[in-house]
Amino acid sequence: MRECFELRDGDALGRIGELTVPRAGRTVETPALLPVINPNIRTVSPARLEAEFGAEMLITNAYIIRGTDDLRERALAEGLHDMLDFSGAIVTDSGSFQLAEYGDIDVTTEEILEFQHAIGSDVATPVDVPTPPDATRETAEADLETTEQALADAETVETGEMLVNAPIQGSTNLDLREAAARHADATDLDVFPVGAVVPLMNDYRYADVVDIVAAAKRGLGADAPVHLFGAGHPMMFALAVAMGCDLFDSAAYAIYARDDRYLTVHGTKHLADLEYFPCECPICTEWTPAGIRAESDAERERLLAEHNLHVSFGEMRRIKQAIRAGNLLELVETRARNHPAMLDGYRALLDHADQLERADPASKGSFFYCSAESARRPEVRRHQDRLDRLETPDSLLLTEGASPSADQFDATWRVLPPFGPAPRALSETYPLTAELPDRLDDAAYEAAARGVARLVETHPETDVTLSHDDWPASALALVPPGVTLDALHERAD
Ligand code: GUN
Ligand code: ZN
């Protein structure tokens, strides 16, 4: 059992957790957003991030500090917390990103870990190799070997109470990601960042990010805290949390502000294109876009960075509340409507419905059917898996409503889109109490028909009649031939 991470609540693969950071003498609630502090540039001071935005943890770069004379001397003399004026937990990165950018860095894992320990880092990072997406298998394997050696080197360093990251690489090779995660999980390192996803996110390849996180999660224990390295756009936080990511770091708030870009949970807007601010944060309440455009470069950057932080922290709170309320997937679905690439990400998540189902709580507050994708949610999968274990009589009527011929059968069950058949005793329990629109899409009926097929397949001795109210042909085509069909109301067309 990993001691530094405790789970408090969950929804899909998302969870509210408590990460114990012994060196900082505190715990951090997850999912958490770590603002990136460039030690050379202070867009918003760490003290303000803590006091005004509620940042419990931040991340900075030990490689840059080590390579800059005055920063190095100050960090060694005062310690990181005093140097940055931040009393929360501090994660440090190792220079791996610089390695990926420039191809070479002048420090080993042992040296950079010792340095991170010396400056008082709370969570340190070895020198992993961030293999870019779409690398050949040979490259990804060779790089991964180097990363795994770095993890082994990290285990030999005397790190005391400091937690150490075990980054998971493997490029877009999903089996390598899973193997890398299994390997990382078997080390005595503490936190598990999924690395080298920044290029994928910059290209809006959210479905690939989902597949990579799913692969990493398969190799990790449920109690492993997972950091999605470099993920800082609030548009994708809900999706990534639902896949089981616990920590995020945002350089985006500052980098985007520098380019006059304004973050929203629906995507990025350019300041030049805004006449009104679609946001309730203190900056957007006090200012207008024209007013901010008239400010100096530095002031404009600060104001936009503060707005970007407000929306990012606000989205994290919304996600945590959604986990508590059991409607995280409804939130993911809402976010998926904002951009086709997000819809791809959500559809990729639903491709992993089996994996999600194993973590998803058995009972939640509500199930709102809000789009055709809802028919593929893990709760539907779980109900249909449960059909295999239910006992059925010799003759069974599945019906959507009252049927005049019900007394000719040994038993009558409900058939509920998108779930399928359900004994009466279950039909008033979660998730069968789902709220559905009256104008239901074909996907809901098709999912119900798959449930009927599943029941027939696993109970071949039962004679099944389906009394349905006007199902579309695409759903009826999925009902096995042995089932007697009985339309309650014939279609008018
Ligand atoms: N920051 C963003 N991506 C990465 C990564 O893959 N490794 C490290 N060490 N830092 C990162
Ligand atoms: Zn705002």
- The Cα 129–Cα 73 span in angstroms is 28
Asked if 95 and 124 touch (Cβ cutoff 8 Å), the reply is: no
* Closest-lying ligand 1 atom to the alpha carbon of residue 169: 6
Q: Judge whether 178 lies within some domain.
A: yes
Same domain, yes or no: 368 and 282: no
Same domain, yes or no: 389 and 314: no
Q: Which of 327, 351, 375 is the last residue of a domain?
A: 351
| Residue-level pLDDT at 492 | 45
Between strands 57-61 and 463-468, the pairing is unpaired
Domain extent, residue 121, equals: 2-351
- The Cα 228–Cα 249 span in angstroms is 8
Same domain, yes or no: 347 and 366: no
CA of 309 to the centre of ligand 2 (A): 9
Asked if 169 and 197 touch (Cβ cutoff 8 Å), the reply is: no
Same domain, yes or no: 372 and 347: no
Q: Judge whether 102 lies within some domain.
A: yes
| Residue-level pLDDT at 329 | 96
Pocket test for ligand 1, best of 96, 209, 245, 249 (most atoms within 8 A of CB): 96
Q: Judge whether 356 lies within some domain.
A: no
Helix and strand tally (H, E) in the chain? 21, 18
CA of 286 to the centre of ligand 2 (A): 9
Same domain, yes or no: 292 and 436: no
Q: List beta partners, residue 91.
A: 59, 123
| Residue-level pLDDT at 403 | 80
Same domain, yes or no: 378 and 345: no
Structure-derived torsion over alpha carbons of residues 89, 94, 98, 103, reported in degrees to the nearest 10: -160
Same domain, yes or no: 344 and 369: no
Q: Judge whether 385 lies within some domain.
A: yes
Same domain, yes or no: 31 and 161: yes
Q: Please give the backbone phi and psi of residue 135, each rounded to the nearest 5 degrees, phi first.
A: -65, 155
pLDDT means per 10 residues in the chain (493 residues)? Answer: 87 97 98 95 94 98 96 98 97 93 91 98 98 97 98 97 98 98 98 97 97 98 97 97 97 97 97 98 98 98 98 98 96 96 98 94 88 96 95 95 86 96 92 95 98 97 93 96 83 45
| Residue-level pLDDT at 277 | 98
CATH code for position 236: 3.20.20.105
* Closest-lying ligand 1 atom to the alpha carbon of residue 165: 9
Which tokens belong to 156?
């030999």
- Residue 69 parent element (H or E): helix 69-78
Asked if 171 and 139 touch (Cβ cutoff 8 Å), the reply is: yes
CA of 229 to the centre of ligand 1 (A): 5
Q: Structurally, how many domains does the chain consist of?
A: 2
- The candidate with the shortest Cα–Cα distance to 240, out of 175, 194, 183, is 194
Q: Judge whether 192 lies within some domain.
A: yes
Could you write out the DSSP letters of every residue in 353-380? HHHHHHHS-S--S--B--SGGGGGSHHH
SS3 at position 466: strand
To the nearest whole number, what is the mean pLDDT of the chain?
Answer: 95
- The Cα 269–Cα 256 span in angstroms is 10
Same domain, yes or no: 153 and 62: yes
Active site residue 122: no
Question: Which ligand lies nearest to the CA atom of residue 100 in the structure?
Answer: 1
Q: List beta partners, residue 416.
A: 420
Asked if 107 and 5 touch (Cβ cutoff 8 Å), the reply is: no
- The candidate with the shortest Cα–Cα distance to 297, out of 43, 21, 92, 469, is 43
Which tokens belong to 22?
């012994």
- The candidate with the shortest Cα–Cα distance to 215, out of 233, 197, 230, 191, is 197
CA of 105 to the centre of ligand 1 (A): 14
- The Cα 386–Cα 382 span in angstroms is 6
Which protein residues are within 6 Å of ligand 1, measured from CB?
Answer: 93-94, 96-97, 125, 128, 130, 167, 195-196, 198, 229-230
| Residue-level pLDDT at 491 | 46
Same domain, yes or no: 336 and 235: yes
The environment of the single-atom ion ligand 2, i.e. residues with CB closer than 5 A, is 279, 281, 284, 307
* Closest-lying ligand 1 atom to the alpha carbon of residue 130: 6
Same domain, yes or no: 103 and 128: yes
Q: Which of 301, 327, 351 is the last residue of a domain?
A: 351
Question: Which ligand lies nearest to the CA atom of residue 198 in the structure?
Answer: 1
| Residue-level pLDDT at 493 | 45
Pocket test for ligand 1, best of 229, 233, 245 (most atoms within 8 A of CB): 229
Q: Which of 324, 351, 378 is the last residue of a domain?
A: 351
* Closest-lying ligand 1 atom to the alpha carbon of residue 167: 7
Q: Judge whether 479 lies within some domain.
A: yes
CA of 459 to the centre of ligand 1 (A): 51
Q: Judge whether 491 lies within some domain.
A: no
Candidates 93, 143, 211, 249; catalytic one? 93
Same domain, yes or no: 265 and 370: no
Residue 168: which residues within 8 A CB-CB, separation 6 or more?
A: 177, 180, 181, 184, 192, 193, 194, 195, 216, 219
Question: Which ligand lies nearest to the CA atom of residue 228 in the structure?
Answer: 1
